[in-house]
Structure 1
Amino acid sequence: MIFSEIATKMNTKIQNDEQMTVDIELNDGTQVSCAVLIVLTVQEKDYIVLLPLDENGQNNDGNVWFYQFIQKSEDDEPELGYIEDDDEYEAVADAFDEYLDDVEFDELIDADPED
């Protein structure tokens, strides 16, 4: 999987245990705090994968949300955009599934057989 420069920098922060959250305002006006899981690059665009959290900072259903991640430069504040095209959404979901498969495989490889 190939990541853009911006995605690589964001993912490095996430991997270094820098807890990152984003507050999203839903159509009904409610605010939802989300943990940032990863920024993926799909077809030369960046997408952010968010894990919605309840008021206790937990996620009980395992659902994730995908948004376009738009950051023109490192100095600019990133923007999130809706993914309105079904094919584009499916490509992002497939990339996230591939990422999860890679992470799971890496964890199996890194697992100590003595455990």
Structure 2
Amino acid sequence: MNENESLTVTLTLENDEELECDVLTIFETDGRQYIALLPLNDEGDSDDGQIYLYRLTDNGEGEEPGLENILDDDEFERVSEAFNDWMEAQDFGDIDLDDME
């Protein structure tokens, strides 16, 4: 992968719709790994600037990591704050955060 290519993930939503997302970053907070995803439209662009945050789970050696919704409000607040700190360090400015429940 060259530096101009982005890493993407395809989410399958509750209604079985698939949503392609750019991986913005994988980061750690409170000893757990999290991932920040930017949903893309059919043209491969982001329309609304929403970011989805998920907890990464280890599915075993050689397996792709899994994604879990962050259901605890306190945990989501800590993860959002850590992600915002990362965004400020990247000089992206403020982007609306939303979780997919």
Displacement after TM superposition at 1:73 (Å)? 5.6
Partner residue in 1 for 2:52: 65
> Does 2:25 correspond to 1:34?
no
Q: How does 1:89-100 map to 2 (within 5 A)?
A: 89-100=76-87
* Runs of 4+ displaced beyond 6 Å: none
**Structure 2: gaps (5+ residues):** 93-101
Compare CA radii of gyration and give the structure with the larger one: 1
Scaled by the length of structure 2, the TM-score of the pair is 0.81
Aligned length: 92
Cα separation, 2, equivalents of 1:41 and 1:18: 23
Deviations 1:17-76 (A, max 9, x none): 452111101111111000000011010000000000011101111100001111356622
RMSD: 2.2
Partner residue in 2 for 1:111: none
User: Aligned letter for 1:25?
Assistant: T
Q: How does 1:1-115 map to 2 (within 5 A)?
A: 16-71=3-58, 75-104=62-91
User: Aligned letter for 2:8?
Assistant: T
**Structure 1: gaps (5+ residues):** 1-12, 106-115
Scaled by the length of structure 1, the TM-score of the pair is 0.71
SS at match of 1:49: strand
